[in-house]
Amino acid sequence: MCGLGGILNRYGERMSGREIIRMSCMMRDRYDGRGGGFAGYGIYPRYAEYYALHLFFRDEVAKERTEELLKDRVAIIKDEPVPMRRVREIPPENIVWRYFVEVPHRFRDRKEYQEREEDYITELVFTINDCIDGAFVASSGKNMGVFKATGMPDAVAEMYKVEKYRAYCWITHGRFPTNTPGWWGGAHPFNLLDWSVVHNGEISSYGTNRRYLEAHGYKCRLLTDTEVVAYLFDLMVRRQGLSMRTAAVALTPPFWKQIERMPEPKRSVFTALRMTYSQAMLNGPFAVIVTNRDTMVGLNDRIKLRPLIAASSEDCVYLASEEAAIREVESNIERLWAPRAGNPVIARLNEEVREEVIH
């Protein structure tokens, strides 16, 4: 039984990490201490144009090898240890370092530069995770970062000084691993570029999804099911240009029985999406929160086997496993509801939050 939470300030105003830590603490009885984490967007305004790579190294050798690779592939603008406190509950298992990098100039002259650059960074992330023993990338987006470890979220927050960062969007996760190992890389959020995912439940279709993603060049190396969700959004929304709503239809489509009852042309569209993305479809019980630089999405499995509550106030949109976690940090809730199975709740900067009715 994991717990997840998220806050998006609709106007892009940045909040300290304190609220998300309180939300996470409210759900402490859902976790067992084998994974906790946070992702914040807007935390590095001075380096906003650079990719912020958060890296975990088991030892100096892994760090040296990774730095050799980085120097070969990107320009490092700045690098430093991620500021950390010693906390009793979490043994210092990894060296945690951050690098602000940009892609060398010779890549900038090419056509479709943006897409190429992001693919270039993706390839770098997978090379590190796959080829360098004892090194992996915790996050690789711009102006954002993931802070995670094996421990309860409050201890993880204490260790990384999460309360000192300011972000316009925060997500959090406390883990209760059931099927896969509890380790720093297996803690949530999972990230690629500026996609981050927190997840409660199981992706039973992991094997199928993984093979599908590997056919598109993704490498699943983090020993747990959740990472496929981050990569599926990257593939479908960033690379293939689907809207969040359409991606959600493909990932949690209505049942055939429901599609048959739909009027045309909706029926044909849904049929085509189900058939095209049959291997991307997510099965099993889950609630996820997926974020990128301007959006926070909450999504449940197709028969709602995990809890998820959404709420909005004048300034913020909230998602959490429990209503109590939202009420703990927001006393002026305008609307609070339980989204329906398979319907994405889409919160975007400068827009009204909406539950897309696809089921």
3-state secondary structure of 119: helix
Site residues (CB under 8 A) for another protein? Answer: 18, 21-22, 25-27, 29, 154-155, 157-158, 162-163, 258, 261, 303-304, 307, 309, 322-325, 327-328, 338, 340-341, 355, 357
Shortest Cβ 92–another protein spacing (Å):
19
C-alpha to C-alpha distances, 352 to 75, 113, 221, 273, 292, nearest whole angstrom: 39, 32, 37, 26, 17
The two tokens of residue 146 are 């993931």
In this complex, which beta carbon is closest to another protein, that of residue 31 or of residue 136?
A: 31
Q: Is 294 exposed, middle or buried (0-12, 13-18, 19+ CB in 10 A)?
A: middle
Distance CA 40, CA 188 (A): 13
Q: How far is the CB of 310 from another protein (least distance, A)?
A: 12
Q: Is 25 a catalytic residue?
A: no
CB-nearer residue toward another protein: 18 or 65: 18
**Choice between 67 and 89, CB closer to another protein:** 89
Q: Which residue out of 2, 169, 220, 316 is catalytically annotated?
A: 2
Minimum distance between the CB of residue 285 and another protein, rounded to whole angstroms? 11
- DSSP-derived secondary structure for 339-352: PPTTPPEEEETTS-
Which CA distances in Å does 163 have to 19, 43, 292, 299, 347? 9, 11, 21, 27, 23
Which one, 21 or 138, has the nearer CB to another protein? 21
Q: Which two tokens stand for residue 4?
A: 């997840």
CB of 176 to another protein, least distance (A): 14
**258 Rama sector, left if φ>0, alpha if ψ -120 to 50, beta otherwise:** alpha
Which residues are designated catalytic? Answer: 2
